[in-house]
Amino acid sequence: MDFIFIEALRVKSRVGIYPRERVAEQTLELNLTFGVPDAAAEHDDIADTIDYAQVIARIREELAVQQFNLIETLGEFIVKLLFDEFGAPWVKLAIAKIGVMKDVRRVGVFIERGRNGVSPPAHVPTAGLPG
Ligand SMILES: Nc1nc2c(c(=O)[nH]1)N=C([C@H](O)[C@@H](O)CO)CN2
């Protein structure tokens, strides 16, 4: 399995447990890593892989219309989108709210899921960083 990463994707969303967070959009930062078949590298064909531009477009499209109380639920929604629409076998996702709490730069959630019991290899690189 190869991995695609999308680093520091800024998206607008209405997410939060307070009424004010449901009426005004806030900016979230997403870091996303997902598995893709090795075949894309062999055949040099976008049809053999997951198009990260389409993933970004679909996330933006959905978050513009969906509402969630919890970032955990929003994260599960994105994981399901990667599984159901793009057939990703494995997804790791971090979602952060920026500056929503006093004296806290970022607060968020990490989610890692394998579709139908798929496990990642022992070592998966952190998005955008070596090692
Ligand atoms: N585990 C969580 N705790 C909290 C969340 C959340 O999504 N998951 N959200 C909030 C508020 O919406 C916060 O972001 C605004 O101050 C608080 N706790």
Q: Is residue 128 within 8 Å of residue 120, measured between CB atoms?
A: no
55 ligand 1 Cβ < 6 A: no
Confidence of residue 130 (pLDDT cuts 50, 70, 90): very low
Q: Is the pLDDT of residue 121 over 90?
A: no
Among 20, 67, 70, the mutation site with the greatest number of ligand 1 atoms within 8 A of its Cβ is 70
Confidence of residue 40 (pLDDT cuts 50, 70, 90): confident
3 state SS of 61: helix
Residue 9 vs residue 116, higher pLDDT: 9
Spacing, Cα 70 to ligand 1 middle (Å): 6
Give the model's pLDDT for residue 61: 97
Identify residue 98 by its one-letter amino acid code. I
Q: Are strands 67-68 and 2-15 parallel, antiparallel or unpaired?
A: parallel
pTM, 2 dp: 0.91
Q: Is the pLDDT of residue 48 over 70?
A: yes
Of 104, 9, 118, 113, which is closest to residue 56 (Cα–Cα)? 9
> Tell me: the pLDDT tens digits for 22-39?
899 999 999 999 999 888
3 state SS of 110: strand
Q: How far apart (Å, rounded) are the C-alpha atoms in residues 2 and 83?
A: 16
User: Which of left, alpha, beta for 103 (phi over 0: left; psi -120 to 50: alpha)?
Assistant: left
Q: Is residue 29 within 8 Å of residue 9, measured between CB atoms?
A: yes
In ligand 1, the atom with minimum distance to the C-alpha of 70 is 7
Q: How far apart (Å, rounded) are the C-alpha atoms in residues 64 and 82?
A: 17
> Tell me: the pLDDT tens digits for 74-114?
999 999 999 999 999 999 999 999 999 999 999 999 999 99
127 ligand 1 Cβ < 6 A: no
Give the model's pLDDT for residue 128: 53
2-117 under CATH 3.30.1130.10, yes or no: yes
